Amino acid sequence: MEAKAVNRFIGSSPRKMRLVIDLIRGHSVDKAIEILHFSPKHASKDAEKTLRSAVSNLMNMDDSTRVEPSEILVKEAFVNAGPTLKRISPAPMGRAYRIRKRSCHLTVVVATKE
């Protein structure tokens, strides 16, 4: 049994988010939440929120069976690029530099151990 959660339009660049997501891929949910909770990266807060949502989706799928969090593992976790906001910053001699404010979409799939 598996469930997924998607968090879209996160205000962090995909490159920074992938550094955090690579830490939890393949781990059990207990270990993954512990890693994210104590990670100093700003992106870990959004990743933890999405992971908890995926676990909750799995629990709500079938109310008759009770699944322990230690029995659930992070099957897939990936980051896709979202839309980029383009801004302009003044530069010397009348020029302008382009600032790209990147965003990302995070998908986390959790499954029970079998």
Catalogue all structural domains in the chain, each as residue range(s) with its CATH number. 2-112 (3.90.470.10)
**Each residue of 26-52: pLDDT tens digit?**
999 999 999 999 999 999 999 999 999
At 42, list the tokens.
């700003």
Angstrom distance (rounded) from CA 78 to CA 87: 27
pTM over 0.75: yes
pLDDT category at 63 given cuts 50, 70, 90 is: confident
**Each residue of 74-96: pLDDT tens digit?**
999 999 999 999 999 999 999 99
Q: CA of 35: how far to CAs of 13, 32, 43, 101, in Å? A: 20, 5, 12, 27
At 93, list the tokens.
């001699």
